[in-house]
Chains A and B, each alone.
Chain A
Amino acid sequence: MNFVLRVCGWLFDCLLLLHQEELRTRYGDEMSIVFREQLQEALEAGPVAVIFALSVAGRDVIELAANSWLDTARLLAFSTCAAALLFFGVTLGFASFDTPLAAYACTQAGPTFSGQGTPAVNSRLVPISGGHNMFLECQGAVDDGPTVILATGRGLGSYQAWALVQTKVAAFARVCSFDPLGAGRSDPVPGIHPVAAVVSNMHDLFFNAGIQKPLVLVGASAGGILIRQYEERYPSEVAGFVFVDSAHEEQEWRDAAISTSFDPNWDNLQFLKENGFLPPRQHLHWRDNVPLIVLERTDLPPCSAFPGLTQRQCDEINQAWHGFQVDLSQRSCYGQLRPVPGSGHAMHQQRPDAIAQAVQDVVNGVRGCY
C-alpha cells in the first residue's frame, strides 16, 4: 500500500510540472499534500477509488494545461519556421549576417518577441504607519515618465491578479502593484478595510517606497472608486487614469431605483461609506482634466440568468452600467471610452493586452504634458 502511495504521489508531482508556474510556486506543496490525503482515503476505500482519484487529477491536467500546450506548440512552430526561413535565406543568398543593419534589427526585434528584454522584477515588504508592512512589486525601467500603479484593495484582491497586465506594461513604463493589508504577502490585518483607510495605506506605501511621481492609476471594478478617491485626497500626485470596467459612486442608489433585489445594503449608510458609494440621491461632482481612458466590457451574461429581474429591469441595469462608464469618461476633457470586444468583467484576465494599450496611451499623454 505504501508503495502504491509513493508511486502515485510521484506521478502526481510529475503531472504538476505541466501546470502553470505561478500555480505551482504558490500552491504546489499544498496540492501534493491534498493529493496524498485524497489518495490515503482512496486506498482505504479500494482500488477503484484510487483509479478514480488519479483520473480526476489527470483530467485537471488536460483541462488546465491544454491552453499552455497550445501556446508551446505555437511557439515551437513559429521558431521552426523562423529558423527555416533564415537557414534557406542565408544558403540561397537572400539574407546575410554580415551587414550591421541586419544584426541591429535582430537585437531590436528579439526582446519584443521573447520578452527577455523585460527588466528585472523588484519585490519587497515596505513598512507603513501603524507598524504594518505592505508587499510591493515593481517592474520596468525607471525613467522621467510617470509610474503606473495597478491598484488593489478595493476591487481586485491581490497584486497577482494584475500579473498579465504588469508584464506587458513593464515593456514601456515603470509599473508597480501591491497587496493591500490583509491580503497576499502584506501583513494579515483582519476586518473591514474601508476605502479611506486603503487610500491612506497606498499613500504611505508609495511615499515610503520612494515611488517616483506623478502616478498613472489603474483600477478595476471597485478599484475604480478607490483610484478616484486617491486623486481626491492627493490631487498633485495623479497625472492620469485607466478605469477597467469600473464601479461608480452613484451605482448603489441608481441600481436600487431599478431593483433592490441584488444589494440589500443599498441604503445602509455605513456600508456605503466603507465601500466608497454615495448615499441615496447624491451626485458625484468630481472632475480632473488629465489623460483618462475608460475600458468597458462588451460580454454580458444573458438576462435569463437573473429571473429576479424583468427583462426591462435587466436592460435598465445594463444600461445604467454603460451610463457609469460614459459618465466616468466625461470627467476629463481628455477622457475616452473604449468598449473592449471579447471581454466580460474579468478584463484583467480576458484582455490584458487592451488594458496595457490603454495604459500606454495614457502614459504617452502624460509624457506629452510634462
Chain B
Amino acid sequence: MMEFLPLAPSQFFVLFALAEGEKHGYRIMQDVRALSSGALRIGPASLYTTIQKLSDEGFIEEVSRKGSNRRRTYRLSGSGKRLLDAEFSRQHEVLILAKRKRIFKVGGRA
C-alpha cells in the first residue's frame, strides 16, 4: 500500500468519513468538514471527482440502490480499509516523530 501514500487531503477525509459506515454524498461532504475541523471544505464537484477517482481505483464501492431513491450511498472496500489503515499508521509515525523531537508537546499544541 505504500505506493499510494501519502494520500491527498480530500481522498484521506472521504475515506475517513466512510470508515464509520455507508454514507451518501451530502453526508460525506458534511463529515469531511467536521472531521477536518472545518479546515477542508469541498464543493460537490470536488467531492464527486474524489469519489470517482477512489471508486475507479477500487477503494470505495457503490452500495446498490434500492427502490426509487436516486441517491447513491458509498462504502469502503477491503482495499480501501487497508489503504486508510496504512495512511493512519503513517500519520501516527509522523506524530511520534514530532513528539520525540519536542516540536509537538503531548496533549497540546506546538
A residues whose Cβ falls under 8 Å from a Cβ of B: 12, 15-16, 19, 22-23, 26-27, 29-35, 37-38, 53, 56-57, 59-61, 63-64, 152, 155-158, 160-161, 182-184, 188, 192, 221, 245, 255, 261-263, 265, 301, 305-308, 317, 321, 345
Selected from B4, B45, B46, the residue in CB contact (under 8 A) with A345 is: B4
Question: A-side binding surface: helix, strand, loop or mixed?
Answer: helix
- B44-61: CB near A (< 8 Å → 1, else 0) gives 111111011001111101
| Contact (Cβ within 8 A) B51 A27 | yes
Tell me if B106 is interfacial: C-beta within 8 Å of chain A. Answer: no
Given contacts A33-B25, A182-B61, contact A306 B43 (CB under 8 A): no
| Contact (Cβ within 8 A) A157 B57 | yes
| Contact (Cβ within 8 A) B45 A64 | yes
| Contact (Cβ within 8 A) B43 A305 | no
| Contact (Cβ within 8 A) A306 B45 | no
| Contact (Cβ within 8 A) B2 A317 | yes
| Contact (Cβ within 8 A) A301 B6 | yes
**Chain B residues in 8 Å Cβ range of A317:** 2
| Contact (Cβ within 8 A) A31 B44 | yes
- How many of B's residues come within 8 Å of A, CB to CB? 43
Tell me if B29 is interfacial: C-beta within 8 Å of chain A. Answer: yes
| Contact (Cβ within 8 A) B58 A19 | no
What number of A-B contacts does a CB cutoff of 8 Å give? 128
- B17-51: CB near A (< 8 Å → 1, else 0) gives 00000000110010000000000011111111101
Please report the C-alpha to C-alpha distance between residue A60 and residue B40 in the assembled complex, in whole angstroms: 13
| Contact (Cβ within 8 A) A160 B56 | yes
**Chain A residues in 8 Å Cβ range of B89:** 261-262, 308
The 15 sampled A-B contact pairs (Cβ below 8 Å) are A16-B45, A30-B72, A33-B70, A34-B26, A38-B29, A56-B43, A64-B46, A155-B58, A157-B56, A158-B56, A160-B52, A192-B78, A221-B3, A262-B2, A262-B89
